[in-house]
Amino acid sequence: MSTDTTTPDATERTRALLTTAEPRRRRTDRIMTVLIWGAFVLAMVPLVSLLWTVLFNGAGRISIEFLTYSMRGIFGGDPSGGIYHAVAGTLIITGWATVISVPVGLLVAIYLVEYGRGPLARSVTFFVDVMTGIPSIVAGLFAVSLFTIFFGPGARFGLMGAVALSVLMIPVVVRSCEEMLKLVPNELREASYALGVPKWLTIVRVVLRTSVAGLTTGVLLAVARVIGETAPLLVAVGVTDSINFDAFDGRMMTLPVFIYRQYSQGLATCRDGQADCVADIALQNAWGAALTLIAIVMLLNVVGRLVNRWFAPKLR
Amino acid sequence: MTTTDSPPAVPAPAPARPRRRRSTGDTERGFSRTFRWITTGAGALILATLAAVALFLVARAFPAVTASPTELADAVPRYPDDTSFIAYVGPLVFGTLLAAVLALLLATPVAMGIALFISHYAPRRLAQVLGYLVDLLAAIPSVVYGLWGIAVLAPAAAPVWGWLNDYLGWFPLFAGEASPTARTLATVAVVLAVMILPIITAVSREVFLQTPRLHEEAALALGATRWEMVRTAVLPFGRSGVISAAMLGLGRALGETMAVLMILSPGFLYSFKVFQAAQHQTIAAYIALDFPEASGLAVNALIATGLALFVITLAVNMAARAVVARRKDFSGAN
Amino acid sequence: MVGALALSLAACGQNPGADAAADGASASAGDLSGELSGGGASSQESAMEAWRAGFQGQYPDVTVNYDPVGSGGGRENFISGAFPFAGSDAALDDDELADAEAQCGEGGVIEYPAYISPVAVAFNLEGIDSLNMTPETIAGIFKGDITTWDDAAIADDNPDADLPSTDITVVHRSDDSGTTENFQEYLSTVVPDVWTYEPEGIWPVDGQESAQGTSGVVSAAQAGEGTITYADASQIADLGTVAVGVGEEFVEYSPEAAAAVIEGSPRVEGTSEHVFAYDLARDIEGTYPIVLVSYHLACATYEDAEQAELVKGFLGYVLSEEGQKAAADSAGSAPLPTALAEEFAGAVDAITAG
C-alpha cells in the first residue's frame, strides 16, 4: 500500500486494514514472527549439522604438514603427505576463472541495466538465463572439446578448467550483479547527469560505488558456486599428486577433485603390525580437505567484507 | 566535462534515452561511447560463448537423436528396447524436475524466512554475523554435501521417511515401500534444498535490505504491524529479486551433479514414490554416472540428455520471466 | 562368455601434439625424467598409487599421473592417442584392437593383465561374519528370487548359523563397472540356468538399491541391516563375507586363491604376439572364482623417445617383483604368478622409440 497511497482505492484499503479488529492483526503479526524465527531455526539445523560434521571429522587431520606437503609418493594407509598441491590448484584455477568471469560478467550486467535495449539486450538476458542451466559436466566437456582442437587430444591443463568454470560462473555474476545494479535508484543517476558527469563516469563512480556491497556479495557467491565444482575439473584438468603452479601446462589437483578421489578410494589395506598405516586415512584426508576448502572461502568472505567496508558509501 | 556531455536531466522515459542519444550523437562523447561499445561487446561475447556451447551440444547430440531405436539400444547401456528417444529421456527429465521442484518448494519459503529474519527481524549486530554465515554456506562444495548426505542425513532420515510412509502412505508422494538406506529422491531433495537455501537467501536478503526506508516508515506510520509492513512494503518491492534468486537456486538444483550422484540409488521410472529406492534419476547425475564408461554413440546419447536439461532450463526461465515482467514497476532502474 | 569380457587387446597411443607431458626434460637411458600421464580403470587406482610412488621414488625427476576416468574412457583415450598407456577392466574387443593398431602400428599393441583382485560377496548381518553359499544361491539372491536371510537355500549350507528372518536388500553398483561385469560373468558362466542375463558393466535387475563406486556400495551396505553386495575384497571393511562354493567345497576369498585362477585359464588365441588376453576358468577346485582382472594397454613403439622410455620404465616396474609386492601390500591385490609376469615383461622390454 505504501507504494500507491495516492490512489483513493489504496486509502480505502488502508483504512479498512487499520479498522479491522486489533487482536487479529496482532495475532497474525505474532504468528508470522514465530514462523520467521522458526524458518531460521529450521534452516540452521542442517547447516550446523553439516558444519559440525566437517569440523569434527576434518579438524583432526589439519596440521602444518597437511597444509604444506603434496601427496607425491604417498599411497595406501600412509598418514603423511598433504593437500598443498590441491590448495594451490584450487586457488590458481578459481583465480583464473574469476579473472575471466568478473570483468565479462560485470560489463554484461552494466550493459543490461544501463544500456540494454532492443533485440541484442533481450537475447543476452534470455541466454544468460539459459547459461545458468548448463550442467557442470557439460561445461567440462565443452572446454575439453574446445582446447583439444588446438592442443591435441591429450591436452589437460589448469586454464582449461578455468574456462569450464567461467562458463558456469559468468551467468551467476551477471544475474546477481544485474539485480544489484537495478536497485540503484534512478534519482542518483539523474543527479549525477545533472551535475554534468558523463554517463560512463556516472556508472563507474556512482552506480558501481553505490552497489559495491551487493556486487561483492554477487561475485563471492559466484566464486563459491564454482570453487566446489568437481565434475568439469575432473574431465578438463585431470588429477595429479604433485605440485604444479603453471596453469598453462600440465595437470593440476584441486580440492573438490581431491575430496572426491579420496572418498572414492575407500579403505586402505593395512597388514597386522604394519607401522604408519591408517586404514581410513583417505576419508580423513577428504574431510580435512573439505574443512580447508571451507576455510579458504571463509577467508575470501572476510576479505570481501573488508573491501566493502572501505569502499561502500554509508547509506543507511 | 562540460554540461553538454550530460544527458537531459529530465527523467525521460528510459527506453527513449539511448535512441535519442544515438540520433544526435552529441550527447555521448569521448569515452562514454567507447564504454558503451565495451559493455555491448561483453554482451555479444556471452552470446558467442553460448552459441559455441550450444553448437557443441547440438553437434554431439545430433547422431543420437537421429539414430534408430535399434542402433541406440545396441550402443547405449540402459536404453530400453524398441522405444523412441523421447521414451529414453522422459524418465530422466521427470526425475530432474521432480527433484528440483521438491527442493525449490522446500527451500524458498524457508529462505525467504531467513532473509526477512536477517533483514528485518534479527538484532542488527546478530544479523551481520548471520548474513556472513549464510554466505559461507553457499560455498560448501557439492562433494561435501554428498558426503554429509550419506554419512549424516540418510541414516537420520530413514526412520522419518519410514514413519511418513507408514502413516501417510495414502498420499501419492509418500506411497510405495520405504528404503532402509534412505538413498532416495526424498533425501536428495532435502540435500538440494539445503544447497540452494544459501543462494536464495543471500540474494533475497540484499533485495529486502534495499527496500526504500520511506516505504517502510510510511507503512509503520500508518499503524501497520511489523508483519503488515513487510507484507505491504518489503515483499512487493523484493518480489522480482526473490523470483530471480529462486531461479538461480533452481538452476543449481537442476544441474547439480555430485551430491545426487553420491546419494541417489537410481532408477528410470515415472514415479512419485519419493521414499522408494531405484525410482528416479536426474540428468546431470546420469551423465556423470555413465560418462566414464561411455564410448561412441553412447556419448552422443548422454550429451543429448544434456541438451534436454538445457531445454528445461530454457522453459523454466521463460516462465519465470513472464512472472517477473508483470511486476517490473518496483525496480529502481526502470 | 559374451561381450568384451575376458578378451583383451591392447592399444597404444602416441601423443602427437599433446604436450601435457613435455616439461622440456630430455630422456637419456638409465636416468629418466619427464611427465607420463595415462588413465583408465578406477579399480586399479590404489595399486596405481603404489606403483607411481615406487617408480617416482626410483626416478625423482619423473612424474607419473593416472586419471581414474574409467575403463571405457581409458580405452577411448588410448585409441585416440591421448593416453600413452591405459588401464582397463576389459580387454579391447576386435574393433577396438583394430583402431588401436591404427594408432600403434600393425601388431604394435601390448595388452596384458596387470592387476588381479578377488571380488568379495559381502553382507551386513549382526553377529555373522561368514556364510557358505553355492553359486545357485548367490545368483538367486542377486536376482531377487531369494528374499529373506532364513531361506532354506541359505540355511541348508549353513547349519550352524543363526539366520534372522530379515529381508535381503541387494545393493549393486549404479555405475558402469568392470566389477559388475566380472561378477555377472562369473554367475552366467557357472549357473547359466539361474543367471540368464547377458553380462555387461551395468546391473541388469531393476528395482534394487544401488550406489556409485566401490566405496558407495560398501557404505550403503553398512547403512542397512540385511544388505548384500559385491565389491573389491580389499575395500569391504567389517562386512561379513561369503565363502563361495566351487565344486564340492566352499572357498573364502584370498589373493592367492584369486591369482590361481589366471594360472589355470587359457590365453585367448588368434591375437598378435603381445596381446595377452584370458578366458577365465571359474571352476578350478581350490581357487576363488570371482576375480577382477584388469589390463594394461601400451604401444610397442612411440614416436617420442622420452615417452617410450617412460612407458617402458614404468610398466617394467609394475611387472617387477617389487612393483607387484607394492600393489599387494597397499591394494590387497593378488601378485601375478612369476612365470606370467616374466612373459609380460618381455613384451614391455620390447618397447622402442621410432
Residue B291 is part of a domain; what is its CATH number?
1.10.3720.10
Torsion (CA) B166, B170, B175, B178 in degrees, nearest 10 = 0
Answer whether B277 touches C (CB < 8 Å).
yes
Residues of chain C with pLDDT under 70: 1-30
Mean pLDDT for all residues in chain B:
80
> What is the band of B12 on the pLDDT scale with cuts at 50, 70, 90?
very low
Map out the domains of chain A as residue ranges.
2-58, 64-311
Highest mean pLDDT out of A145-154, B26-35, C230-239: C230-239
pLDDT at B323 over 60: yes
Averaged pLDDT, A251-277:
80
CB contact under 8 A, B248 and A176: yes
CB contact under 8 A, B181 and C223: yes
Torsion (CA) B277, B282, B283, B285 in degrees, nearest 10 = -70
CB contact under 8 A, B292 and C70: yes
pLDDT at B16 over 90: no
Is residue B313 a contact partner of residue A130, using CB atoms and an 8 Å limit? yes
- What 8-state DSSP symbol labels residue A20? S
Domain shared by C124 and C244, yes or no: yes
Q: What is the DSSP string of B133-183?
A: HHHHHTTS-HHHHHHHIIIIIHHHHHHHHHHHHHHSTTSGGG-S---TT--
Does an H or E element contain B113, and which?
A: helix B85-116
* Residue of C125, C174, C206, C219 to mutate for B, most B C-beta atoms under 10 A: C174
Amino acid A209: pLDDT: 84
Q: For residues B244 and A174, give the distance between their C-alpha atoms in angstroms, rounded to a whole number.
A: 12
Q: Which residue among B31, B113, B255 places its CB closest to the CB of A40?
A: B113
Q: Which CATH architecture has domain A64-311?
A: Orthogonal Bundle (1.10)
Percent helix, strand and coil across chain B, each rounded to 5?
75, 0, 25
Roughly what angle, to the nearest 10 degrees, separates helices B297-325 and A118-131? 120
Q: Which residue among B29, B30, B139 places its CB closest to the CB of A228?
A: B139
Within a domain: B35: no
Residues of B in contact with C207 (CB under 8 A): 267, 277-278
Within a domain: B133: yes
Within a domain: C287: no
Q: Phi/psi at C307 (nearest 5 deg)?
A: -65, -40
Mean pLDDT for all residues in chain A:
82
Q: Which residue among A117, A134, A290 places its CB closest to the CB of B310?
A: A134
pLDDT digits (tens, 9 = 90+) for C13-56: 322 223 333 333 333 345 788 889 898 888 888 889 889 988 98
Q: How many domains, chain C?
A: 2
Interface predicted TM-score (ipTM) of this complex, two decimals: 0.77
CB count within 10 Å of CB B9 equals 14
Find, among B129, B205, B194, the residue nearest to B157 by Cα.
B194
Averaged pLDDT, B25-40:
74
> What is the band of A19 on the pLDDT scale with cuts at 50, 70, 90?
low
**Which partners does chain A have (≥3 C-beta pairs < 8 Å)?**
B, C
Averaged pLDDT, B183-198:
91
Within a domain: B49: no
Answer whether C236 touches B (CB < 8 Å).
no
Smallest CA–CA distance from C213 into chain B, residue: B262
Residues of C in contact with A153 (CB under 8 A): 18, 77, 80-82
Amino acid A20: pLDDT: 62
CB contact under 8 A, B113 and A39: yes
Q: How far is C327 from chain B (nearest CA, A)?
A: 24
Answer whether C210 touches B (CB < 8 Å).
yes
Amino acid C140: pLDDT: 92
Smallest CA–CA distance from C213 into chain A, residue: A264
Q: For residues C178 and C171, give the distance between their C-alpha atoms in angstroms, rounded to a whole number.
A: 16
Amino acid C3: pLDDT: 33
Alpha carbon separation from B237 to A1, A3, A180, B208 (Å, rounded): 11, 9, 13, 8
HSE-CB of A280 using CA atoms within 13 angstroms: 13
List, in sequence order, every residue forming a beta bridge with C120; answer none if it has no partner.
C231
Within a domain: C284: no
Roughly what angle, to the nearest 10 degrees, separates helices A255-265 and C213-223? 60
CB contact under 8 A, A76 and C331: yes
**Which partners does chain C have (≥3 C-beta pairs < 8 Å)?**
A, B
* Residue of B270, B293, B300, B302 to mutate for C, most C C-beta atoms under 10 A: B293
SS3 B91: helix
CB contact under 8 A, C209 and B265: yes
Within a domain: B167: yes
Strands (E) located in A169-260: none
Domain shared by C168 and C67, yes or no: no
Q: Which residue has the higher pLDDT, B139 or B34?
A: B34
Q: Which residue among C71, C176, C210 places its CB closest to the CB of B278?
A: C210
pLDDT at B238 over 60: yes
CATH number at residue C230: 3.40.190.10
Q: How many domains, chain B?
A: 1
Question: HEC profile for chain C?
Answer: CCCCCCCCCCCCCCCCCCHHHCCCCCCECCECCEEEEEEECHHHHHHHHHHHHHHHHHCCCEEEEEECCCHHHHHHHHHHCCCCCEEECCCCCHHHHHHHHHHHCCCCEEEEEEEEEEEEEEEECCCCCEEEECHHHHHHHHHCCCCECCCHHHHHHCCCCCCCCCECEEEEECCCCHHHHHHHHHHHHHCCCCCCCCCCCCCCCCCCEEECHHHHHHHHHHHCCCEEEEEEHHHCCCCEEEEEEECCEEECCCHHHHHHHHHCCCECCCCCCCECCECCCCCCCCCCCCEEEEEEEEECEECCHHHHHHHHHHHHHHHCHHHHHHHHHHHCCECCCHHHHHHHHHHHHCCEEC
Sign of the torsion angle spanned by Cα atoms A101, A105, A106, A108: positive
* Cell numbers that stand for A309 in this block: 567496508
Q: For residues C351 and C312, give the distance between their C-alpha atoms in angstroms, rounded to a whole number.
A: 6
> What is the band of A29 on the pLDDT scale with cuts at 50, 70, 90?
confident
Residues of B in contact with A43 (CB under 8 A): 110-111, 113-114, 197, 201
Q: How far is B66 from chain A (nearest CA, A)?
A: 20
* Residue of A267, A272, A277, A281 to mutate for C, most C C-beta atoms under 10 A: A267
Within a domain: B62: no
CB contact under 8 A, C174 and B289: yes
Range of the domain at C133: 119-253
Within a domain: C34: yes
pLDDT digits (tens, 9 = 90+) for C222-244: 888 889 999 988 888 788 999 99
CB contact under 8 A, B258 and A230: yes
Q: Which residue among B181, B277, B289 places its CB closest to the CB of C175?
A: B289
Amino acid A87: pLDDT: 92
Within a domain: B108: yes
Amino acid B18: pLDDT: 45
Highest mean pLDDT out of A216-225, B28-37, B105-114: B105-114
Q: Which residue among B135, B199, B230 places its CB closest to the CB of A301?
A: B135
Q: Phi/psi at B156 (nearest 5 deg)?
A: -70, -35
Domain shared by C81 and C21, yes or no: yes
Is residue C345 a contact partner of residue C113, using CB atoms and an 8 Å limit? no
pLDDT digits (tens, 9 = 90+) for B92-136: 999 999 999 999 999 999 999 988 888 888 888 888 788 777 777
Answer whether C166 touches B (CB < 8 Å).
no
Range of the domain at B256: 90-330
pLDDT at A300 over 90: no
Smallest CA–CA distance from A280 into chain C, residue: C237
Q: For residues C99 and C93, give the distance between their C-alpha atoms in angstroms, rounded to a whole number.
A: 10
Q: Which residue among B136, B141, B330 places its CB closest to the CB of A256?
A: B141
Q: Which residue among A75, A234, A235 places its CB closest to the CB of C53?
A: A75
List, in sequence order, every residue forming a beta bridge with C121; answer none if it has no partner.
C230
Residues of C in contact with A261 (CB under 8 A): 45, 68
Within a domain: B256: yes
* pTM score, whole prediction: 0.81
Within a domain: C148: yes
pLDDT digits (tens, 9 = 90+) for A83-142: 999 999 999 999 999 999 999 999 999 999 888 778 888 888 878 877 876 778 788 888
* Cell numbers that stand for C193 in this block: 540356468
Amino acid B36: pLDDT: 86
Within a domain: C147: yes
Domain shared by C111 and C124, yes or no: no
> What is the band of A292 on the pLDDT scale with cuts at 50, 70, 90?
very high
